[in-house]
Amino acid sequence: MRRIVAGLFVSLDGVVEAPETWHFPYLNDEMDQAVTAQMAASDALLLGRRTYEIFAAHWPHQDAADPLAATLNAVPKYVLSTTLTAPTWQHTTVLAGDPRQELTRLKQQPGKDIGVSGSPSLVSWLLREGLLDELNLLVDPVMLGSGRRLFEDDAGPIPMTLTDSATFSTGVLNLTYTRA
């Protein structure tokens, strides 16, 4: 059975919004290897509508020689949305039915992990619904003070188990959690 695995950049105070504005000073080879390994373990991408729209406006227009662009453009993409009706990014399927059924069906198909990038509302929902199998957080050593946080709603306690951790030379923590 496939797993749903989310990877997010997060500040010390829990902000996940707009990492392109604060995350890049901490990018190095260690982080690149961690992100690349997570992507290599996935053969599909699950996105929320807002993250999909941001990615779809950017990645199809990048140089095909860029390995990240090539991967993101080629991989099957699934968008959980009731409002997106005409996806423009190649290899995109909108999951507009019952989200629980749609994701359970995807998890039962053969293949590697289903990766989730960004999409904090989706990640929070997946956690609350018990559908997220692994949460990978790259915690940057910066306090932002404001911005969208991963856990803004009252989800109640969701016990997690730390299964792996590493500290990068930039001070970034690479934390991997599964449900307890």
Please report whether residue 3 resides in a domain: no
Please report whether residue 17 resides in a domain: no
CATH of the domain at 166: 3.40.430.10
Please report whether residue 23 resides in a domain: no
Asked whether the whole model's pTM tops 0.85, one would answer yes
Among the listed residues 46, 51, 135, 151, the one whose alpha carbon sits nearest the alpha carbon of residue 99: 46
Q: What DSSP string describes 112-169?
A: SEEEEES-HHHHHHHHHHT---EEEEEEES---SSS-BTT-S------EEEEEEEE-T
What's the number of domains the chain is made of? 1
pLDDT of the chain, 180 residues: tens digit per residue: 899 999 999 999 999 988 888 999 999 999 989 988 988 899 999 999 989 999 999 999 999 898 888 889 999 999 998 888 889 999 999 998 888 999 999 999 999 999 999 888 899 899 989 999 999 999 999 999 998 888 766 667 889 999 999 999 999 999 999 988
Please report whether residue 150 resides in a domain: yes
Please report whether residue 12 resides in a domain: no
Please report whether residue 19 resides in a domain: no
Range of the domain at 60: 29-173
